[in-house]
Amino acid sequence: MLAGDPLVLSHGWQPEEGFLNARWTRYCELMILYLLAIGSPTHAIPSASWYAWSRPVMTFQGYRYVSAADPLFVHQFSHAWIDFRGWRETPPSGTPPVDWFANSITATRAHRAFCLSLSSEFPGYGENVWGITASDSRQGYVAWGGPPRHQAIDGSVVPAAVAGSLMFAPDIAVPALREMHRRFGDRAFRRYGFADAFHPTDGWVNPDVIGIDLGITLLSAENLRTGRIWNWFMQDPDVRRALNLTLRAR
């Protein structure tokens, strides 16, 4: 998957065309990919690959954190499996260390503040009604979010944005999910949980069940409730090997 590059992974491979030209070169949901590759006991990539991808910094209303203007899910997916609590980076000179768990907490709080900043335009957003991440929309799938503002935002709410951060910020995520269930549950909460997206003021509800969004909801909820997903996954020796090669226990 390095596809000729000494450190950076290709985005993917297709049997008809081979490796994709795009590469995992900047912060996003990529952390679990690099750790699993670095920790491989048979086909490991260099541990230096961990520091080969860029870490752009986002600032919003006093929040400062690593982000690349992507939806909130990029701060959640790797964390659903890997327990970054208690680990710190020891980067090469010139690369500032990042506390990745704290970074996702900050990203969640910044995203809530971002949604509240839109409430004058979209009055459906409020203290406990917020959350935008890649999901279905009236026009189909859209990787919307913020900050900064994605041009497609229309006032819809994506419950998985909040639920996927239960493991980071339960003080703001739990009240939001409870209020959304109380106020909109009769139309936006169904057999498998919350709808993928809904509009709090005009009545639109997405009819589809999207497994990846329900998945991050369940994983994050269980990590908050018991830490069980983290506990199981962190027992894997390849994961522990990778962490010891790239980060250090506090």
Does residue 72 lie in a domain region?
yes
| pLDDT given at position 96 | 81
141: confidence class by pLDDT, cuts 50, 70, 90? very high
Nearest-Å Rg of the Cα atoms of the chain is: 19
Does residue 103 lie in a domain region?
yes
Does residue 40 lie in a domain region?
no
Q: How far apart are CA 78 and CA 133, in angstroms?
A: 16
The beta strand positions in the chain, using DSSP E, are 13-14, 18-19, 57-60, 63-66, 87-89, 189-190, 193-194, 247-249
Does residue 172 lie in a domain region?
yes
Query: Mean pLDDT, to the nearest integer, of 30-55?
Result: 96
127: confidence class by pLDDT, cuts 50, 70, 90? very high
93: confidence class by pLDDT, cuts 50, 70, 90? confident
Domain count, the chain: 1
Q: Which residues pair with 248 in a beta bridge?
A: 88
| Confidence check: pLDDT of 248 > 90 | no
pTM for the model = 0.95
The per-residue pLDDT for range 74-85, each reduced to its tens digit, is: 999 999 999 999
Domain that holds residue 62: 53-249
Q: How far apart are CA 36 and CA 32, in angstroms?
A: 6
| pLDDT given at position 250 | 63
Does residue 44 lie in a domain region?
no
| Confidence check: pLDDT of 211 > 80 | yes
Q: How far apart are CA 121 and CA 138, in angstroms?
A: 19
Does residue 108 lie in a domain region?
yes
% the chain with pLDDT above 90: 93
Q: How far apart are CA 238 and CA 245, in angstroms?
A: 11
Looking at residue 247, its amino acid is L
| pLDDT given at position 92 | 80
Does residue 10 lie in a domain region?
no
Residue 153: closest CA among 176, 173, 133: 133
| Confidence check: pLDDT of 171 > 90 | yes
The DSSP letter of residue 66 is: E
For position 151, which CATH number holds? 1.50.10.140
Query: Mean pLDDT, to the nearest integer, of 197-214?
Result: 95
| Confidence check: pLDDT of 57 > 80 | yes
Least confident interval from 9-13, 68-72, 168-172: 68-72
| Confidence check: pLDDT of 122 > 70 | yes
Q: How far apart are CA 239 and CA 229, in angstroms?
A: 14
Q: Is 216 exposed, middle or buried (0-12, 13-18, 19+ CB in 10 A)?
A: buried
Does residue 135 lie in a domain region?
yes
Angle (nearest 5°) at CA 49 between 48 and 51: 75
Q: Which residues pair with 19 in a beta bridge?
A: 13
205: confidence class by pLDDT, cuts 50, 70, 90? very high
